[in-house]
Amino acid sequence: MSEGIVTLTSATFDETVNSSTTPILVDFWAEWCAPCKAIAPTLEAIAREQVGNFAIAKLNVDDYGDIAQRFGVMSIPTLLVFDQGELKKTLVGALGKGRLLEELKEFLPSSR
């Protein structure tokens, strides 16, 4: 996993999401998912560029399907954005960096 990206498990999901002092995007992914691999460099770049403003985390649906099921994740990659522990936005698919930043704009410091 890239620097700045947290790997979540069933045991750490709630604590990590609920205690985050910044909005947190959780990437629901799997090793076999080509679109998941395609979006990974974009998420790594955002994690580097937004340190202290926005957090990125990943959860492998093959290993932790209980969490995916809890949030109704039906296809991957699915990106869930939480702010102060509350689910605020759901994005599905491998979005390009520009589109993803546009979707996240409301959570970034300049627009808060």
Residues with catalytic annotation? 33, 36
Rounded-to-integer distance, Cα 49 and Cα 96, Å: 15
CB atoms within 10 A of CB 16: 19
91: β partners:
79
Tokens linked to 34: 């080509």
Question: How many residues belong to the chain?
Answer: 112
